[in-house]
Structures are given as structure tokens and as C-alpha cells.
Amino acid sequence: MDGSFDLIGATPPASPVILSVPHAGRDYPAALDAARRVPASALMILEDRYVDAVAQGARGVETMIVQRRARAWIDLNRGEDERDARIDEGARPTAQAQASVKLRSGLGLIPRRGGPAGDLWQRRFTAFEVEARIITDHRPYHAALADALIAARARFGVAVLLDVHSMPPLDGRTRVVLGDRFGKSASPRFVARLKAATAEMGMGCAVNAPYAGGHILARHAAPAAGIHAVQIELDRSLYLDSALDRPGQGMGASVALLRHMIAAVEDEALAGGRTLAAE
């Protein structure tokens, strides 16, 4: 176990499904608190608030990795090169011309903005500060995730990463959004099973709109090599209270929904995957 995340489950994995929860961390280091120019609540807007509780409840035997550090500290769903020169002294100016939409909007490796609060920080962070976060938080999480996926594929012939997030309410009908990077990160059969599972639970589901998946899927998915990855966004109003702040009455139903989705993917992986590797 690394200090910045929890690794839960058997080694090697007991299921071909691996769960990742990268944005629900509620650990705000003192250095971060000292640097903010906004109330602490403005940093919490960046959280996938308590979606880790949904994932914990839904998990069966699956290996799961849950980030403890807050997303405001470092965003695991951004690449190491998505560094914002406006707040990061170590960012390469030449890289900014090819900056992603997320980076340009202030949601890079170190988030610069958070919802209506605007700019979050009193100062720019030094190159050393940002690189220390990359070394102690970003790389260990991704290394653990890669190891789990490789071990699951070795055991089951296939591995499926479900990257669990939450989203603000959308249109009142779409309660789940699945992202597969427009078909690049997973076989269609896994997305089809997830869509069917959400429908069976009475939930409206969209694919790749408005969330198609980020760095975690881009980095770890390799469908041709038997490693698939799908991002799952759950409407926060399903499981939080009316203020979207604390676990609410819908938590149990949301746990059941995610469990049903996990089970469907696991069934698809075991039914359609290759023969178990010899142990």
C-alpha cells in the first residue's frame, strides 16, 4: 500500500475486472491548504464526491485502487505533460501550443480553476513541488493500476478496467455516461453489456457524451492486447443528498446499480475471454 492510495483486493486479482477511483480523494495536504486563495469548499468542487463509497459498497472480489489525495493536489486523469504554465513554473512553454482542451480550461495536471470560484491558488508552484507530486502520487497510482491489469490478463486472458467517476446532474434522464474514447479503449461488447445493465436498473445511459474518458483510459487500455477500459460517470444526485455534499438516501440503490454493472462486465469477460492461463 502506498501512502497516497488504497489498493484493495487479492494479488493476483481474483477477477478480470479492475476498479479505479482516481478523483474521490479527500486528503488535502497542508501545503495545498496554505496555497489556496479560495475557501476549502471551492477545492471540493473538483472531487467526485463520495463516489468511492459507492465503489466500496459495489465491490465484490475485484481488485480496486482508490486515490486518497484530493484531485486539487494532482489529477491522475491527466498526463504528466499536461502542466499549466500559469501556475506551474516547471511547465514547458513550447508544450502549451498543443495543450488539451482540459488544460486550456484550467483543468490540467494541477487544476488551476474550480467551477465558479475561478483561480484557486495564491501563487505558482515550483517545478520541484509539481515534480514531487508526480513522483509520490501520480506515478505510483498508475504503476499499481498497470500491475493489476497485467496480472488480471495473465490469469484470465483478458482484463477490464472500470474507471469510476461521478458527474453533476445532466438533463434529468441521463444518469450514467460510459466513455470508451469513441471505441478506442474497449471492445464494443463490454460497452454493450454496461448499457444493458444500466437499462435493466431503469437508468438512462449515454456513451461518450459529454465524457469520453481521459488519460487513464488512454494510458492503460490496449484492447488488441486483451486490456480494455471504460470510464463510468454516475450522476451525483443518485447517491448524495440534495446539497450534493454528503451520502444520501440513494446510496444503496447506487451501490446496487454499480454492482450490477460490474457483474455484467465480469460475466462478459469470463464468457468471451480466452481460456484461463495456467497457474
Q: What is the model's pLDDT at position 201?
A: 98
Match 486490456 to its residue by C-alpha cell. Answer: 227
Angle between helices 188-200 and 251-272 (to 10 degrees): 140
Radius of gyration, alpha carbons of the chain: 18
pLDDT, position 96: 52
Percent of the chain with pLDDT over 90: 88
Q: Which residues pair with 67 in a beta bridge?
A: 5
C-alpha 17/C-alpha 40 separation (Å) is: 35
Q: Is residue 220 predicted with pLDDT exceeding 50?
A: yes
Whole-number pLDDT of residue 199: 98
Average pLDDT for the chain: 94
Query: What is the distance between the alpha carbons of residues 16 and 214, in angstroms, rounded to a whole number?
Result: 21
| Contacts of residue 198, Cβ cutoff 8 Å, sequence gap at least 6 | 175, 176, 204, 205, 257, 261
pLDDT, residue 19, reads 98
pLDDT at 23 over 60: yes
Q: Is the pLDDT at 35 greater than 60, yes or no?
A: yes
Strands 204-207 and 159-167: unpaired
- Domains, the chain, ranges and CATH? 5-271 (3.40.630.40)
Cis amide linkage into residue 116, ω under 30° from 0: no
